[in-house]
Amino acid sequence: MEVHHHSHHPKKWKEYITEFLMLFLAVSLGFMAENIREHQIEKQREIAYLQNVHEDLRLDLNNIDNVLNQNKSRLLLLDTFFNAIKNKTITNEEAYYYIRNLVLRATFESSHVGLDQIKSAGGLRMIKNKEIVTGIQEYERTLDATAKMEVVREGTLEQARFQMAVVFDPIIQYQMMKSQNYQGVGWTRFQRPQKADLILEKNPAPWACYFQAPGIDIASASPELFLKREGKRIRTSPIKGTAPVGTTDFGVKDRAENVMIVDLMRNDLGQICKSGSVTVPRLLSTEAHPGLVHLVSDIEGELKEGTTWSEIFTLLSPPGSISGAPKSSAVSVIEENEGKRGPYCGALGWVQGDQSELSVAIRIFFKDDKLRFGTGAGITWASVADDEWEETQLKARRLVSLAGGVL
């Protein structure tokens, strides 16, 4: 029997070196590929961060231009105001107009999305250009200094607003504006009816006003704020719930109706405000007004960047408190059963730049071809017809009586 032995030849040292080099090369290439991939990712992040900062700067430049334009307008207004005082040609009404507009704030608020991202992610280390890093750091310091200056300016303006509120309280303001010939600044001279004066004096509602335009006169005793805007901050204060003076506890129907409209307005504001910024700082608060008390809530938020007045009015109009929920269905029912409301239940007030005060046009006398008075009550499933009619009369009785009418 033959036995065959298979001989094993030991590897030569060159083969070992070759295998080692191949293994080393493979590992090295793997590390290099990973490093290249990480470098590409960091480069992409760097580009994304810089693009966001660039967008911040673009928005900030637009905001600065808006503030500069508003300040230029205020300087012209201030010059006109001083000249009128110097020449002793200014009326009380014009003084009120000038001061009210001069204490409004032209607000600069930085868009700092890109800066916040860089700071939270440690993104500055990814930016290789040291000049850009230095520029970003200097800009951040400038924004911090600007924010501190804005706080000081707002404090000064707040003091001015307080003094204005003292000087121009409803009674003093009424006495100052008692002259029958009212010269509105930049407006056509008109005669304010004596009945409008009487309503302002005897029923000093918080949003009372008189407005005249070709073909229409409006005397409003509105108690309700529709929209107040100060820069990016926006607030609405719907009224749902009315009772005689002395009432301290509203019923379930009124409270439920108020909360329903609060939810409606939260949803409306949520479409134009930054996510998470919409709050309800005041819910179901009792407010005393001439001849009655109301149940009032406040909803406020911070507007998204670039939100236009057109978008605001499109989403918020008509006011939720005088339409209902869901709003589109409520408006359809109102149109089918009431027809055109005219100025009644619209918005009445002023808008200038990024500032506004607009009331809901309720409790108003308006004259087109006839003299009309608008008021009403909200109808829900829990409504009792006699109660709603009594509420409508309660709202109307005092004002109609002041105007010389009888219910």
Give the 3-state DSSP-derived string for 10-34, with helices as H, strands as E and coil as C.
CCCHHHHHHHHHHHHHHHHHHHHHH
Alpha-carbon distances, residue 246 vs 127, 183, 295 (angstroms): 66, 40, 13
Give the predicted TM-score (pTM) of the model: 0.54
In angstroms, how far is CA 154 from the centroid of its own chain? 17
Q: What is the mean pLDDT of residues 248-253?
A: 86
DSSP element (H, E) containing 357:
strand 355-360
**Residue in the structure block whose two tokens are 């580009």:** 47
| DSSP 8-state symbol, 349 | E
Report pLDDT for 6. Answer: 52
Report the DSSP beta bridge partners of residue 303.
273
What CA–CA distance (Å, rounded) separates 395 from 386? 14
What CA–CA distance (Å, rounded) separates 320 from 330? 10
Q: What amino acid is encoded at 372 in this protein?
A: R
State the CATH architecture for 191-402: 4-Layer Sandwich (3.60)
Give the neighbor-by-neighbor strand order of the sheet with 364-367: 209-213, 216-220, 364-367, 371-374
SS3 301: strand
DSSP element (H, E) containing 312:
helix 309-316
Among 38-52, 115-129, 198-212, 265-279, the least confident range: 115-129
Task: Give the residue extent of every domain in the chain.
Answer: 43-167, 191-402
Q: Among all residues, which ones are annotated catalytic?
A: 224, 240
Tens of pLDDT, residues 118-142 = 766 666 666 777 787 788 778 878 8
> Strands 364-367 and 216-220, how do they pair?
antiparallel
Alpha-carbon distances, residue 233 vs 227, 279, 302, 304 (angstroms): 10, 11, 5, 10
Residues 6+ apart with CB under 8 A from 361: 218, 220, 222, 343, 344, 345, 346, 347, 348, 374
**Number of residues in the chain:** 407
Q: pLDDT at residue 78 above 80?
A: no
Whether 278 and 263 have beta carbons less than 8 Å apart is answered as: no
Position with higher pLDDT, 378 vs 116: 378
Q: How confident is the model at residue 53 (pLDDT cuts 50, 70, 90)?
A: confident
Tens of pLDDT, residues 152-181 = 777 776 666 666 655 555 444 444 444 434
Q: Across 75-208, where does the E strand assignment appear?
A: 181-182, 190-191
